[in-house]
Structures are given as C-alpha cells and as structure tokens.
Chains A and B, each alone.
Chain A
Amino acid sequence: MKKIEEMIKKQVYDLLEKEEIKCFIGFEKGQLPFYSPPAFITEAGQIERLIWDDFCGANLSKYLLNAVVKPGEKIGLAAKGCDSRGILRLIQDNQVKRENLIILGVPCRGMKDVSNLTVEDNFNQLPTMEKCLACTNPNPVIYDFLLDEKVEANPQKRFLKVEEVEKLTLDDKYAFWSGEFEKCIRCYACRNICPACNCRSCYLEQHRVGWHGKAVELAENANYILTRAIHVAGRCIECGECERVCPAELSLSTINKKIIKDINSLFGEYNAGVNLEDKQPLCYYHSDDPDEFR
C-alpha cells in the first residue's frame, strides 16, 4: 500500500509538473485515521496530501461528471476496478471523453468497512466491505499506468443476498422490500454517488411536472428506489456504492444485482462497464431474444 502511495505521488507530481493534467482526483487522510475521503490536487506542491490505504473505498468516477476542464485539458485520477468501470460507464454514456483522462490504475484487494465503528473497535482489524466481497473486477479495466500487479477476483458474495431473497415466498418478499423501502430517508445519496445516474437534471427534482412527490412514505420511497433501479438496469457497474453510502442501510445493491442476474440468464453473461466495445443487452434487439409475452 505504501509502495502504491509513493508511486501515485511520483506520477501525479510528474503529471502536474509537466502540466499534462489540470487536476488529480485521489484520496487524502481524513479527520480520523480510518477515514480516507476523496481529494482534489491541482498543484505539484500538494502531492504530499495524497495517500493510498485500506480505507480508499469510495468510487471517484462520479466526480468526473462535474469536473470543469477547458478544451485540451486533462484530468487524472486513481482508479480501482470499480472506479475504472465507473469511468467506462461515463465514457459509454457520452459524459466524459477518454482522451481527457489520465488513469492511474490500482488493482484492489478490497477495502475496509468503517460504517459501523464504535470506540471499542480496533481500526487495524476491520472487516472488508461487503461490496468488495462481491467484486468481479478488482483490476482496473481501463488505465494509462498500472501501479501494481493484477489480483485475482473472488466475488464469493456476488449473488448471495439475491439468492436468499429469491427463496422467499411472494408475501415474504413483499414484507422484506416494504421493510427496506420504509427505512429510506430520501437523502438521494445513492443517486448522487452512482456513476450510472449521470442525468444532468433528475426527474426527481422536476417538481412542477410532478413526476414524483416529496412525501416520505412507503409508496413514494418504493417508487423512487425502483424507478432508479430500472433506470440503471443494464448499466449498473456493481460498484456497490449505493449501498455503501446509504445511511439507512437499505439493501440497494440486491435490487441491482437481481436485475443483473436476470439479464445474464435472459441475454447471456454481461458485465456493464468492462468493455467499451460490448453492446449493452438492453439497448439492442436481436431476433432470437427471449420473447415470453408471445
């Protein structure tokens, strides 16, 4: 980790010094030893702020959506597997251009879960984040420099929760999801962190049109969460950030993973945001597509 950190610092120093990038998005040390929030570095003199440790779990790709660059300027960023898939998502959705990016790829062994710390916890012995235990692509899928050796994927928990819920009876499923949706406080953090949620103006905020009410109740909450799930269907890159950021601990990636599992069984294995050339199964029609309604 320390070695990766040094390599990031050196690369970023060179890139900024040679004015090849305008800004670098990485991680810095936060208020507490187990917090490593995103950092924006614009001068070579600031590179000492950059770090790489077990707590760099956030997906940085969404920040590219708001990065302001003039023509010809580039942005650099550190990318784990999930970040790189987010970047690919944004490129595929025509939100950023590949040629405007310099990506420092970092193969990832999984980051630590700091969401439920108490003072008694030893922050050197924290569990790995759930989302990392479901990760199919720990290695960056797109990069300019690779800073470490590639690691093997071990997505042991990828569909675990989905399979658990699938086994429930219809009534139990309804009860389970109602219980989840009822917890939602409508902070929209899941939408705001999601690289697949890259609309510049969200239907949720078009109150005059009245797509969506502000009432925080089961029906409106479910409407929000399910609409978002359908909107990112076939485009979700499985970074699990929606679930990580959710303060109310909704089992959000279970919905997305269920859709992915269904897509895989209906249209063949497809991992969104892994290959730029892949055709997205929900965006193309093939005459041999399943047609259950006939």
Chain B
Amino acid sequence: MKAIKNLLVPQFIDALAKDMHLLAPVKKGNNVYFKTWQSGMELEWRRNSFLPPKDLFFPQMDLLYKYSILGQNGEIQELTQSEGPRAIVGIRNCDLKSITLLDKVFLSEGFEDPAYRHRRDNTVLIAYNCSKPQPACFCTSLGINPQGGEGADLVLFELEQEDLGKEEKFSGPGPDYGIEARTPKGEEILKKQRDYVHDTHKKAVPFQQCPLSFGTDGILEKLQEMFEHSLWDDLSKRCLRCGICTYVCPTCHCFDIQGKNAGEEGFKYRCWDSCMFSDYTLMAGGHDPRPTRMERFRNRFLHKLWFYKERYGEFLCTGCGRCLSKCPVHLDISYVAGKIKEAVVDVR
C-alpha cells in the first residue's frame, strides 16, 4: 500500500495545487470550509465542512448571463463558467455519495445541466475516509461505507500509528495517511507526485461506530399511507421553518432563477431555494399549495424518503448529520425517520 508521511501532506497538496485549482477543508472561525488552497494553510480533518461540497458544483449563487439595453436593442453575454481543472481534497464518503445523488438530478432523465456538467467533468475528487465519526453522524444507516471511497479518484485515509506510548502519540506529528488511486485520473496524479509517496505495511484505522442509526426498511411503503397522518402536525410544531437544513444538506438541490436590474444593465442568476420558505410554492395568482409549515415540513421529508426514492431508486439522504448538528431545534431526518417507524398507521 502507498502512504504519505504526515508532515509531507501539506507539501503534497502544495504540489497538486501547482497543476490545478485546489480546494481543501480549512477552518474559518469554528466552521470548516472548502477553500482555495494556499501554501501555509492548515488542513482541518477533524470535522466535516459546514457547507457540503454541493456548493462547489451547484453554487448557492451562480451567475447565468448579463445583459445591457442599448436603445431598441439589447446585448446578452453568457456567464457560463469555464473554469480550468480543479481538485477537491478531503471529501468524506457521505458527501461523495451526495454527488452521485445530485448527478442523477442534474445529469440524467434526458437533460444535462451544462454548468453542473462542466464542473463535474473538470474536478478530481480526493476523498478522505473517516475513521472517527462526528457526534451527529449516521451514514451507515443509509448503507454508506464511510471508508468505501466510491466515486472518488483518489482516496486518503488515516493509518494506524506505531505504539509510541500515549504521550508521544499526542506530541508527535500525527498519523501518516494511506493513499489509493481509484480511477485513471487518480493513478496519473499519484504517479506524478510519487516523490511524496512511500510503501507501507501499516493498516488503515478502522471505523468506529456511528453514534446514531435508524432503520429504513419499509419506510417508503409506510410513508405512502401517511400523507394525512397527524404525525406531520406534531413534528412540524417544533420547526422554525428556516432554511438551515436545506442549505447545509448535501443532497437538497432546489433553486430559483432571479434577476437583478440596475438602470440599463442587469444579470440573471440561479440561487439555492428552500422548500421551508413561505414563498417557495406561492403562485402568481396568490394560491399556495403548501400554505403552512406542516405541508412544507412534510414535503421535505417525503422528498427525501419517498419521491426521490421512487424516481431514482435511492433515499435522498447520506447521513452526514449536518441537519442535526446545525438545526437550532435539533429536528433532523434521523429523528423524523424514527418517528415515522413508531407511528401507527390507520389502514382504511
């Protein structure tokens, strides 16, 4: 197996950043963001990013085109991004999975979103396999292997440290990282950076158990009988109807297209939208098919656990735990799924 010495990791990333735009998890305040790598930055492995990597393929704010009005005529300038090659380091398996789920939305069923396609094709994914879960993780409940590296070009993982005695373990440089290529793109990078890599017999640190779990068996069938269930009223009472869960979710993908005009010029943009907001389903004539927080709340979970699964064969959740750790009132999908399991359905 190939490995990189702990102290060589920043240099390895520096070397990668010479060839392409490199994004890596960096701490800013208490949150971790995928930021453009600059030499001397400090990598943050301990915690997953605040915003999921969906932001890098389907940004919260994406400019589409700008226009100017010239008398009777107008001019339109496309703003479709043509970015050079880039790599994202440190994507965890929950987020890797989310990218494959978003691929189905943006790249399948007869239409390809050009901006998404472009960003997807020019990006190398360098995964980070988890050995330690975070307090709100439950990816294994969704059938995800936190050390699988599926969909990545390259995979990094923590290696077991030699037994140095407890004290030295904490004062030492930290663990070395195993590295494994999964695609030809990954092989190429590994070959090019071979100076940083050595052979090792050390083993990968095994994954500790996720702190949370829930069963998904039969949940879709049960939900199909639960559209009018009183459970939605009870659960949604706690919801603040803010947009946190939808924005930090690696799989939520609703957007709005809006314009901004100033005098003779303006631009159109695509931005994230949230089904929790009261104007989300408001129609031009004033009718709203989801008039209260109950309908909005229900829709979000039905989309995750029913509608998406019916259309694409998988649940629209990867167990990253962001909705639990960021929700101000801790109303997350694992809790809701548990309540759905407990609910008594009156079969008429």
Contacts and interface: CB of A to CB of B under 8 A. Distances in A.
Given A117-B135, A188-B277, A217 B61 contact: yes
A115 interface: yes
Nearest to A251: B29
Nearest to B55: A185
Contacts of B278: 205
A224 B276 CA distance: 18
B238 interface: yes
Contacts of B324: 31-32, 35
A249 B33 CA distance: 13
Prevailing SS type, chain A contact patch: loop
B240 A40 contact: no
B30 A247 contact: no
Given A214-B271, A249-B30, A244 B328 contact: yes
A215 B269 CA distance: 8
Given A213-B260, A215-B61, A248-B50, A118 B134 contact: yes
Interface residues of A, number: 40
A58 B61 contact: no
Nearest to B258: A214
Contacts of A213: 258, 260
Contacts of B133: 119
B271 A245 contact: no
Contacts of B273: 214
A214 B342 CA distance: 39
B243 A189 contact: yes
B338 to A, nearest CB: 8
A92 B161 CA distance: 62
A40 B242 contact: no
Contacts of B334: 31
A100 interface: no
A32 B324 CA distance: 10
B51 interface: yes
Contact of B256 (A40, A62, A205, A214): A214
Contact of B244 (A40, A189, A205): A189
A205 B238 contact: no
A58 B335 contact: no
Contacts of B271: 214-216
A94 interface: no
Given A185-B51, A215-B269, A248-B31, 10 more contacts: A31-B334, A32-B324, A37-B330, A40-B234, A185-B243, A185-B247, A188-B277, A193-B240, A247-B31, A248-B50
Interface of B: 29-31, 46-47, 50-51, 60-61, 132-136, 211-212, 234, 237-238, 240-244, 247-248, 256, 258, 260, 269, 271-274, 277-279, 293, 324-326, 328-332, 334-335
3 nearest A-B residue pairs (beta carbon): A189-B242, A245-B328, A187-B243
21 contacts: A30-B335, A35-B330, A37-B331, A38-B238, A62-B240, A66-B237, A115-B30, A117-B135, A117-B325, A118-B47, A185-B60, A188-B277, A189-B244, A189-B328, A192-B242, A193-B240, A205-B278, A215-B269, A247-B244, A248-B50, A249-B29
